[in-house]
Structure 1
Amino acid sequence: MNFTEQLNEVGIVLNDTQRSQFDKYFEILVEWNGFMNLTGITEYEEVLVKHFLDSLAVGKYSEKFAGNPELSIIDVGTGAGFPGLPLKIAYPQAKVVLLDSLNKRVKFLDEVITQLGLTGITAVHARAEEGARNAAYREQFDISVSRAVANLSTLVEYCLPFVKAGGYFIAYKSGDIDAEAEGAKRAVSLLGGRIESVEKMTLPGTDIERSFVFVKKEKPTPKKYPRKAGLPSKEPLG
């Protein structure tokens, strides 16, 4: 099963421009990875599956978001741009913000955005706790996504404040997520959300398991959240 077929399985069809953008993204990723640590995955086929396909697999559930022509997405703790940049390439009409705490990664993201000729996307240098207190970003997005490795109770405090009421935080998780999701219910509720569903899948043509936790934002997040830097990870709500 090739990359095009794998994407078709999750409901995504790319045109020639988008395919060439993914190839260019790969080239810049490998080039910059030579002098800064962006990813341990650098083989072309592996990047296609473990970064690009993995970022886009949420398209299988796109009825929750893809029909919105004004769709706005923030990727919190984006790192080398996953999943936010692949989502922007696949859904070019979306307005996307890539948030990361490391300035040199933001410079890499700016380079990718420029070379791919993308518009309606910006890379922002900020910690999640700071960004979520900025009125320009707080409760301004239809969707917040994160592939960051952190407990769901921690992630939801970082990510849900960015989401407007009626929108979603989508957590990309792997492994057995049921107990973690159950344990995060109180944190989700405190922050104004509800776990609507946990969608489990195997990436097409692979044995890689992926879970998506869809947290629906039902009411505004109380102003005291997120707490000051470091606390959401040291002392998760629960």
Structure 2
Amino acid sequence: MNPLNHVAIIMDGNGRWGLKYKSSRNEGHKAGLNTVEKIIKESIKQKINFLTLYAFSTENWNRPKKEIDYLFNLLEYFLSQKIDDLHKKDIKLNIIGIKNFSKKLNKLLNFSEQKTSKNTTLQINLALNYGSKFEILDSVKKMKRNNDKINEKNLSKYLQTKNIPDPEILIRTGNTKRLSNFLLWQLAYSEIFFEKKLWPDFNEKDYIRIIKKFKKIKRNFGNI
């Protein structure tokens, strides 16, 4: 049985779900939050220590401004309503990406991180304004600036995921088979599961099925 410590998820398909069922991409993003809460709850049940969620990429700024504004308003609402509950459940919130948002959202993100900083049951890494290519280039620049030897260990030291183990599993919903500039360095040996379901339709049974399948996989890491 393979140990499972860290699950990363590309939550794809919210907009398509919204258009299909509610004639609104924004309604899909709203519905996706329900799935987030279900997966957080199941992650705790499964005793997973790290859950990384791809919420907003550096490329997502190319979306219509109205949709971007709605996404950030939804995030503000979620954090303001749920951060106390997350804290009570001993969940730590950690942001990876560049906090280049409104003063109000930046303040709320910083507050949420500080409030939950000592929690240990589950760490949620929320990838916001995150791009893996930028992260890797930035890490190389920091190595050079500090005159560090360029090697894997030092590069990892300057990543935004430093002190976080690499994911054993990557799940991408939405029937799309690509990584979309997400954790390119960290996913080198992750087991990847592409799901046809759109994110709002993804549920605990789907999650448990993937976990069970992962635990039976023979992981060689280059060996036979």
Q: TM-score, normalised by structure 1?
A: 0.34
Of structures 1 and 2, the one with the larger relative CO (CA 8 A, separation 6+) is 2
Give the TM-score taking structure 2 as reference length: 0.35
Q: Which has the larger radius of gyration?
A: 2
Point out the structure with the larger strand share.
1
